[in-house]
Amino acid sequence: MDLKSKIILISGTTSSGKSNFAIKLAKKIKGEIINADSMQVYKQLQILTARPKKKDLKKIKHHLYGFCDVRKNYSTGEWLKLLLKKIKDIRKRKATPIIVGGTGLYFKALTDGLVKIPNIPIKVRNKIRLMQRKLGQKKFYNRLLKFDPLIKNTIEKLIEFNIIPIINENDVVSTEELEGEKFGDNDTLSSFVSNMIDANLLIILSSIEGLFTTDPNLHPQSAKLISEIKNVGIQDIDTLGGPSSNNLGTGGMDAKLKAIEMASVSGTDVVLASGKNPDNILKIISGKKIGTFFPAKLKIIERKKRWLLNNMSRSKALTVDEGAKNAILNNNTSLLPPGILSV
């Protein structure tokens, strides 16, 4: 193999031995090591990030380690530009570039490239972050929903360019400011996004294969997988769902059932299946019966009504008089202010 024209990639978790392996390999094939760890670029984080020691750095040429101040925002795009320059320089020396690290996005950027996105001025970023802190996570998200067409267009444009949008609720550095305001979990967020883009199908992945007649962890012998449930309402959640693993809500069965109800009422079919097998997504899309299927309760309803439906808080109650109750339940008419007794 002509190593002079090759680039060797070594990836792995922290303290898995990849750095030592890279040094041994570099000695053997005349290679130079380039960092692909997003934390090891910062010069103040040597111990915390298990950056190679000085004695190791002397044995073999290392690049892009500990050169950036921790107070500076450093992007994957900036790393990629420097990386490509380093690769070019190393090849001029007729050596083999060995890229080592644990940041998947760095490797993804190298192998697949990055979409050119205009730089967002720091003033704009700080303004949005300040707005988020003042409003709290939930109110901030509701404010974003007012720009619904823009969000929908953004997602659709990404899909048009064969880019899969990844929308993640859990990427926060600190949870202190989110106490009582945290939006909840990715399950609930997924139902909002499904509503927003008029999705035909929402797939919610879990640690189990679907919804069972009883907890399969406690009753493995008697628990039976339910293949389809045509109606799941708030009254069912307490009996079918289980509590979340912690009070920050990373998505217990209770949260998943609430998300399923929100999506199905908005006109979206939902499948709850195991996330342990990545092929399940493709199987579900192809029409195979995997997990538990929740058909949409209603046809697609008007966006405004769906927005109002999914933004109602479940923790509050509206008390109406008998006349208003009869108008809503039996006559399918609108609720008028005189019929409201308390909120």
Whether the pLDDT of residue 138 is over 80: the answer is no
**What confidence tens digit (pLDDT) does each residue in 271-307 have?**
999 988 889 999 999 889 999 999 987 655 444 455 4
Q: Specify which of 153-162, 266-275, 311-320 reaches the highest per-range mean pLDDT.
A: 266-275
- For residue 323, the model assigns a pLDDT of 79
How high is the pLDDT of residue 26?
94
pLDDT at residue 56, as a whole number = 80
pTM: 0.46
- Report pLDDT for 334: 63
- What's the order of all strands across the beta sheet hosting 31-35? 8-11, 96-101, 31-35, 62-63
Say how many C-beta atoms besides its own lie within 10 A of residue 244's C-beta: 18
Given a contact cutoff of 8 angstroms between Cβ atoms, the answer to whether 14 and 50 are in contact is yes
Q: Which residue has the tokens 């399969």?
A: 216
Give the mean pLDDT of the chain: 77
Lowest mean pLDDT among 111-120, 157-166, 284-293, 308-317: 308-317
pLDDT the model gives residue 251: 41
CB crowding 108-123: b at 16 or more within 10 Å, else e: ebbeeeeeeeeeeeee
Least confident of 75-79, 129-133, 165-169, 209-213: 165-169
Domains of the chain: 3-112 (3.40.50.300), 122-310 (3.40.1160.10), 313-343 (no CATH)
Enumerate residues 6+ apart whose C-beta is below 8 A from 66: 40, 41, 42, 43, 45, 46, 51
Mean pLDDT, range 156-179, rounded to an integer: 63
Average pLDDT of the segment spanning 308-324:
62
pLDDT score of 140 more than 70: yes
18 pLDDT higher than 80? yes
Rg, the chain, Cα only: 26
Terminal C-alpha separation, the chain: 74
Does residue 205 or residue 216 have the better pLDDT? 205
Lowest average pLDDT, out of 105-109, 124-128, 231-235, goes to 231-235
The b-or-e profile of 146-184 (16+ CB within 10 A means b, else e) is eeeeebeeebeeeeeeeeeeeeebeeeeeeeebeeebbb
Task: Indicate the residue type of 109.
Answer: A
**What pLDDT score does 214 carry?**
80
Neighbours of 54 (CB within 10 A): 8
- Produce one character per residue of 268-307: b if its CB has 16 or more CB atoms within 10 Å, e if not: bbbbbbeeeeeebeeebeeeeebbbbbebbeeeeeeeebb
Q: Using the predicted structure, report yes or no on whether residue 312 has a pLDDT greater than 60.
A: no
Q: What is the DSSP string of 237-287?
A: HHHH----SSTT----HHHHHHHHHHHHHTT-EEEEEESSSTHHHHHHHTT
